[in-house]
Amino acid sequence: MAEINQYLTLGLDKEVFGIGIRNVREILDLRPITRLPHAPEFLLGMIDVRGSGYPIVDLRIKLGLPAAVPTEATRIIILDVPMNGRTLGVGFVADCVFEVTDIDESLIEAPPNVGGRWKSDYIAGIGRKGDKFIIVFDLARLMASDGMPMSPQAAA
């Protein structure tokens, strides 16, 4: 029997990525981000969401893609990322958010190990929705790299 899970699909540099909906807390319009001194290039800074501070990561830079000028479609996705037995709150900046979609887990393929434009160690697999491919993030591995400092946030 197929195991169907829901993923939030988002766009980055003409690619479609997926994040497990169970990790998504909310989606926000782009807002001013307070810069942090000496932060890695991909860490844009912090924002306040109802009294909690969230570090904001530019996914394009984190994945080695060229930076982009924000548009009306640019969004901040607030996530709960399980790491080392606790939940960390973090925001990702994406070019756009498409929809929540169902993906059959049995059809998710391992990422191809042929190099490419993004680092495949951040990728859990490649899903399909019709004739389109969705690159599914491994959030824990994505956030564990580069030793990004984050504060724990209680799960909602």
75 phi-psi bin (left φ>0, alpha ψ -120 to 50, beta other): beta
pTM score, two decimals? 0.85
Q: What is the pLDDT along the chain (156 residues), one digit of tens a residue?
A: 678 899 999 999 889 999 999 999 999 999 999 999 999 999 999 999 999 999 999 999 988 888 899 999 999 999 998 888 888 899 999 999 999 999 988 889 987 766 555 566 788 999 988 888 999 999 888 887 654 444 444 333
Distance CA 122, CA 138 (A): 5
Q: What angle do CA 39, 45, 49 make, to 5 degrees?
A: 150
| CATH level 3 topology of 4-147 | OB fold (Dihydrolipoamide Acetyltransferase, E2P) (2.40.50)
